[in-house]
Structure 1
Amino acid sequence: MAVVQAILDGLMIGGVYAVISIGLTLVFGVMGIVNFAQAEFLMLGMFVAYYAWAWLGLDPLLAAPLAFAVVFVLGAALQHLLIRRVLKAPEVAQIFLTVGLLIVMENAALLMFGSGFKSVSTPYQTASLQLGPLFVSVPYLAAFLMSVASGLVLWLFMKLSWFGKAMRATAQDPMAAKLLGINSDRMHMLAFALGVGLTAFGGAVILPYLTASPTVGGQFVVLMFTVVVLGGLGSVAGAVVGGFAVGIIQSLSGLAFPIQLQNLVLFVVFIGVLAFRPKGLLGAAR
């Protein structure tokens, strides 16, 4: 029964990992750029939700769409002002820009919010549901359901809307998309804004059981890259599979090893998978 409980906990955590990582793989899939500052947008989403709770009394789960909207606008501005200038530059220039953006955002947050940890208090913070012999933490379940809902909305947007189809066309063949009248610059802006906005949304929904700080991105950046590379960089479905896989591996490894070794077990599995399938679980060969 302990194994079943661990798998259930892993699924709850993995759903959140998936939604915060979808943004990273979406940006790469459409724009072909790896955003090393992606986790800093998660940090911004947490702070937007925190101040919405502190100033407006808004529950972090209800503030998640606000976090998405604020970071969406910021992401669109950053893409227009900075990111688009290096899309055709050598990869090293893209790395330097996004790593520099990471440093600037983290230090700007330290100046604005201070170095302390900030947490919220909600009525359901310590609540849990009992399903027979199993227990489900209400904050984890709420974050999972919100993450699944946002992922479903993104899937519908990409499949059914004109903008989603235009983004997929731009990702597949930018030149052909231009010939069909699609503005690739706008699609790149939309993809980047959506990508960082989804990550901020994920940051808001995990705030009830985590604390916000300017350096919180460091806790997630390696996990995010592990998720998207394990699932297949550029594959949204791969990010979902990778997120659940990482959550379950972490949770199961906690049964047999000290919590300090959770990530060690994860990376051993990660290296083993890539040794036999370098393109990831659902990634396409390039």
Structure 2
Amino acid sequence: MDPNTQALVQTLAQGLLTGGIYALIGTGLSLIFGVMRVINFAHGDFLAVGMFIALFLFQRLHLDPYLSLLIAAPIGFGLGYLVQRFLLARLGDRLESSSMLATLGIGLILSNGLLLGFGAQPQSINVAYATKTFALGGIQISLPLLIAGLGTVLAIVLLNLFLYRTELGRAVRATAQNPLGAELQGVNTNWVQAVVFGLGVAFAVVAGVLLLPLLYAFPTVGENYTLKAFVVTVLGGLGNLPGAIAGGLILGIIESLGAYYLSNNYRDAYGLVVFLVVLLLRPEGLFGRTVKRV
């Protein structure tokens, strides 16, 4: 393999793995929107909560961040469930129109709570595998990034098994397609929405834990990932779970190629440019359905 081809393959591999994490974040946001028609602008802040849960468990209990997923994911689900049940649900029929302000407020509470509890100083963990690489076919892949990619695949597989192999999953899909029809069939849609919001937050928390060995943790780290999650869901089509996965992979590849061939200083800007182009040419997203107006 000549050097140029090897560099391209290396860049694409890194982009795919990074895009896998974006897909995990975007899947949670897309799941929430698909069922509740709510864009969770606190999504990145929940990701930051996941990072700090793993950081706290590592510092106090010396628990490996990947093992802390067994604790962080249930905490994330419970936090999301409670937020929807006792805060968002109280908005009633105003939820869709007021969700932006409500979730922005929740995000501010979370980020300032982290600032109060952990301080503004960026923090990281010191694990032996943080800088290790994995050789595959002549290319070097970061071991934590590879683990994060595999974790993303596992999480998405489990979500699909839940949605298509369980009674609750069928209730979730029914609520997403026709809430009134689901209620007429005996589905408690309020409870289903709380479960869905909990799952969406759990996905964000899991993404935060997987990112911890790769990044510094600080209270506002989630702001950038809220934007990325929004870009991913719009690229794939709002509420389209397979589209969110594809959108995450596309965003990761675009950022990696742009950083390698143009400049790493504008890494985040490349995805935004593509995002704007997609909005202009196909507002419903690359994999969304076109709605004809009559």
- The TM-score range, normalised by the shorter chain, is over 0.9
User: Are residue 36 (structure 1) and residue 41 (structure 2) matched?
Assistant: yes
What amino acid maps onto 1:61 in structure 2? Y
**Aligned partners of 2:94 and 2:222: how far apart in 1?**
26
What amino acid maps onto 1:76 in structure 2? Y
* C-alpha contact (below 8 Å) 1:250/1:265 kept by paired residues: yes
Q: CA deviation at 1:133?
A: 2.3
SS for the counterpart of 1:224 is: helix
Q: TM-score, normalised by structure 1?
A: 0.97
Which residue number in structure 1 is paired with residue 105 of structure 2? Answer: 100
Per-residue CA deviations over 1:127-162 (Å, capped at 9, x if unaligned) read 111123211110100111111111110111011111
**Aligned partners of 1:155 and 1:35: how far apart in 2?**
21
User: Are residue 60 (structure 1) and residue 65 (structure 2) matched?
Assistant: yes
Q: CA deviation at 1:273?
A: 2.1
What amino acid maps onto 1:141 in structure 2? L
* C-alpha contact (below 8 Å) 1:65/1:201 kept by paired residues: no
Q: CA deviation at 1:167?
A: 0.4
Taking only the aligned residue pairs, the percentage that are identical comes to: 39
User: Are residue 136 (structure 1) and residue 136 (structure 2) matched?
Assistant: no
Larger deviation, residues 177-186 vs 50-59: 50-59
Which residue number in structure 1 is paired with residue 207 of structure 2? Answer: 202
**Aligned partners of 1:254 and 1:93: how far apart in 2?**
37
1:89 counterpart (71, 79, 94) = 94
Give the CA RMSD over aligned residues: 1.3
SS for the counterpart of 1:121 is: coil
1:23 counterpart (20, 28, 32) = 28
Q: CA deviation at 1:207?
A: 0.5
**Aligned partners of 2:200 and 2:135: how far apart in 1?**
35
Q: CA deviation at 1:91?
A: 4.2
Which residue number in structure 2 is paired with residue 223 of structure 1? Answer: 228
Per-residue CA deviations over 1:191-247 (Å, capped at 9, x if unaligned) read 000000111011001111111111111121111111111111101111100000000
User: Are residue 253 (structure 1) and residue 258 (structure 2) matched?
Assistant: yes
Q: CA deviation at 1:258?
A: 1.4
Count of residues paired in the alignment: 286
Q: CA deviation at 1:21?
A: 1.4
* C-alpha contact (below 8 Å) 1:87/1:94 kept by paired residues: no
> Structure 2: 5+ residue runs without aligned partners?
1-5
1:147 counterpart (152, 171, 175) = 152
Per-residue CA deviations over 1:14-67 (Å, capped at 9, x if unaligned) read 111111111111110001111111111000111111111112221111112311
User: Are residue 186 (structure 1) and residue 191 (structure 2) matched?
Assistant: yes
**Aligned partners of 1:129 and 1:192: how far apart in 2?**
36
What amino acid maps onto 1:238 in structure 2? G
